[in-house]
Amino acid sequence: MGARRDNLMIELEAERKLRPSKPFPWYYAPTYLLFWVGLFFAVIYPLFQALPDGIKISEEAEKPGKFVAERAQSLLLEMTQMGPRLVGDVNNEVTAVNFLLEEIEKVRQVLRDDVFEMEVEVQRASGSYLIKGFLNHYKGVQNVLVKLSSRSSNSSSYLLVNSHFDTKPGSPGAGDDASMVVVMLEVLRQMAISGEPFLHPILFLFNGAEEQPMQGSHGFTTQHRWAANCKALLNLDSAGAGGRDLLFQGGPNHPWLMEHYRNSAPHPFATTTAEEMFQAGIIPSDTDFRVFRDFGVVPGLDMANVYNGFVYHTEFDRYTVVSRDSLQNSGDNLLALVKSISNAEEMYDTEAHAEGHAVFFDFIGLFFVHYQESTSVALNISFSLGAIVLICVSLWRMSRVSGETMGTYAGAFGLLFLLALAGILLALLFPVLMCIFYDLGDRTLSYFSNSWLVIGLYIIPSVIGLVLPMTLYLTHRRSDKIPHKYLLQIVGHANCLLLAILCLALTALGYRSAYLFLISLIFYVAALIVNLLSRLDCRGYHWALVLMVSQIIPFIYHAYLFHMFILILIPMAGRFGMNTNPDLLIGALCACGTILALSFAAPLINIFRRPNSMLGGLSVVMFIFCMIAVSEVGFPYRAKTNVMRADFMQVHRKYFEYDGSMSLEDSGYYFHLGDRNREAPLRDSMDLTDLVRLGDDCDTELMCGLPCYRFCAARKDALWLAREELVQLPYPTVLELVNKTVLSGGYQVRFDFRLSGPPNTGLFILPLDGVKVLRWTFSQGMLDDPATYRPPLNVLLTYGVDTAPWEFYMELSKDNGNFDEPVMKLGVSGHYMSPHAERDALSKEFLATLPDFAFSTEWPSSYERHIF
């Protein structure tokens, strides 16, 4: 035993004296940093942009059964040439519906009717439901439905495929969502001519009212006879135009759908982190998936194109911005998923396969990974605890080889852990400080048109913050008890412990995005095991090469993922509203991506001499970027491609008193600006001298005296520009009090109203003191939950093809039973959104002064305030 111990000590002493143990020359450090930059541009960026070649009609015979993008592209041109398609307007209710029916009839003509049968319907739906703080009441909205089923099938479980053909005002809607409509049409055609029977019927829902919001899907889910048979959903939408379609919501609680996505989708693009961000409300959008999930309880997959969100809901969302290759990407995925799920055994009893949430993600588009949440918990805990054990083993090994006590290494580890924590905090703080300074200097959104500026504004400061505490300590330490090579290893161990703690914390809080930390931990643990088994950890800096190689995969994944988030969220930063500094979100994303991608790789600059010089060089690069950002290059907006959203209404308003007399009639422009820069960029070309904020009026006037549309929470920040000449409306919005009846008992009253006007009108109800709304024509949900829905109550009224006047009632109670005095204020708004609604001459002149870098969703509107 003594001889064996002596031999071990001799071996350890030899390892301790092995070379090289001095840092490498400083001039290799730039090459090391450029390696990671080159990896991004050589691998990540090309794969992120990669799309399949769009198949032409002339190639169809050579590629039977394949999605033909050229045919879909020709249909996309026809749809966008219709112009904006708004609920209640002829473009949507007649032109678009007839177009769909004609294309479906063309499919019927080539249908393999010996194998399949096809049913077509146009649904006209009416309904009422609560969503996002207001009541959505509609009638006569239209959906076009196609049910394709195999003659040999006896299944009553349907696969539902949904997209919408309506658009926002002013937008041709090529990306949102005509591109997905034409993809559905081509998938329908390919399934109909395939001759390959499938187990379960496929229901294609061409939804005519998603932008209102989600009225078409609500009407189908709650009213159509086929809705109860829908057991799985593929929802197709868009937050941009073109590019790849991102799977950003799944289930819930049906991981078998992810299995089909993994096995069938040829171009995977997905992450569970996007799902958690979306459901947390960080992304200012919504989809029909919400309605199918909440009202129909239909599990599914929610997919959307996310590239080029700058054109989203603008006139620049045109045919030209959606490439044929992008249509091929979406079509390949959808066709494969439809074939797979329509033959899924799980569809016979989907509830039997409801097994909890899934963690899912793709790896740079090459393959797809998914596993159940329970598996995720086990993996996160196992690798986090395993990493902690290995760190202890490594520290013990270092103490044995160096001859120092374990207490010495434990103390050093504790100090370096605190420095690692400081590094992560600084990596977050430095970009946030940049955001604050630029906001104070009125330079918010400087990266909006030149997204590469985030490299110098946020990513480089984050890198500096990440390595600054460690680098300062390693270059200025005075004790030589622990060799530099070991201290640098301990730096990695400290970062590993931090990530393990974060992984465990997110797991305990139920966030599936903890898998991001798991990826980093797995590869660090792998490198640590290799170094321990090979004893490279005791041989100079050889261990650093193993660590660097192990970090290539985590770097590629995290840089790919956060590049995606930044690409998605930079365009959305232009519509976060005036009170939110979007730079904080973009800066935080850059910081989180930097920490996850480089937490182990960045500190390795300390294996080179003069690491402070590298930090100085990064600081110089950051300064250069800052100077560029405050130049004209940093002006946020560009005509047609990166526009400012300056939405406004041309308002004609009237105030009526209790006796019916009109106390006010005036007009003006009601601005709803999309971003933090407010009206400042507009002042050079528009006369906004008398523009005022209506915050003070909101305390005295119902809804601030504004016809706010749908989401009225930000009305106190509304901007109003009065004009002397009254706005000329295309036709009047008329509210009539048909009857007022005091009900038996004397403490309740019923008002019956008739309202006529444009397809979109709004009601704002404010009961006066001692008055309560008991019942009304609309859904009772808002009245049943007075703690949540406080007055004024907001009701949006929308009609499609049913143009008859609205007839509705309200029953109210009053504490003193005196109904010979006012009981409520009632606001009525009319929104003339149709592209066929004429704007008056003065409004056209004002609109013409809008700078070329701005886009306005605008329309005439009326507002009347009544007292009853």
Tens-digit pLDDT profile for residues 656-715:
999 999 999 999 999 989 899 999 999 999 999 999 988 766 778 899 899 988 778 778
Q: What is the pLDDT of residue 279?
A: 87
* CB-based contact 831:798 (threshold 8 Å): no
Tens-digit pLDDT profile for residues 150-199:
999 999 999 999 999 999 999 999 999 999 999 999 999 999 999 899 99
852 φ/ψ angles, rounded to the nearest 5 degrees: -70, -15
94 CB neighbour count, 10 Å cutoff: 12
Q: What is the pLDDT of residue 21?
A: 61
Is 6's pLDDT higher than 60? no
Q: What is the pLDDT of residue 490?
A: 95
Q: What is the pLDDT of residue 15?
A: 47
749 φ/ψ angles, rounded to the nearest 5 degrees: -135, 150
Q: What is the pLDDT of residue 698?
A: 78
Q: For 377-382, what is the mean pLDDT?
A: 97
DSSP state letter for 100: H
Q: What is the pLDDT of residue 179?
A: 97
Is 120's pLDDT higher than 90? yes
Is 456's pLDDT higher than 60? yes
Is 83's pLDDT higher than 90? yes
* 324 vs 22 pLDDT, higher one: 324
Task: Tell me how far the alpha carbon of residue 827 is from its chain's centroid.
Answer: 33
* CB-based contact 796:779 (threshold 8 Å): no
* 387-390 contacts at long range (C-beta below 8 A, 24 or more positions apart): 387/496, 387/497, 387/500, 387/521, 387/524, 387/525, 387/528, 388/497, 388/500, 390/525, 390/528, 390/529, 390/532
DSSP state letter for 322: S
The whole-chain average pLDDT of the chain stands at 93
**At 133, is the pLDDT very low, low, confident or very high (cuts 50, 70, 90)?**
confident
Tens-digit pLDDT profile for residues 606-656:
999 999 999 999 999 999 999 999 999 999 999 999 999 999 999 999 999
Q: Global pTM?
A: 0.93
Cis peptide leading into residue 730 (ω within 30°):
no
DSSP letters of 327-375? Answer: HHHHHHHHHHHHHHHTT-GGGGGGGGG----EEEEEETTTEEEEEEHHH
* 460 vs 403 pLDDT, higher one: 460
Tens-digit pLDDT profile for residues 15-39:
444 444 677 888 888 999 999 999 9
- Would you state the torsion angle of the CA atoms of residues 478, 484, 488, 494, taken in this order, to the nearest 10 degrees? -50
Is 757's pLDDT higher than 50? yes
DSSP state letter for 623: H
Q: What is the pLDDT of residue 20?
A: 44
Q: What is the pLDDT of residue 8?
A: 47
Q: What is the pLDDT of residue 336?
A: 98
Instruction: Quickly name the fold that domain 57-356 has.
Output: Aminopeptidase (3.40.630)
**At 578, is the pLDDT very low, low, confident or very high (cuts 50, 70, 90)?**
confident
* CB-based contact 187:234 (threshold 8 Å): no
DSSP letters of 591-610? Answer: HHHHHHHHTTTGGGGGGBS-
Q: What is the pLDDT of residue 481?
A: 83
160 φ/ψ angles, rounded to the nearest 5 degrees: -100, 130
Write down the domain spans for the chain: 57-356, 374-633, 644-867
- For 33-54, give the secondary structure using H, E and C: HHHHHHHHHHHHHHHHHCCCCC
One-letter identity of residue 792: P
Q: What is the pLDDT of residue 10?
A: 45
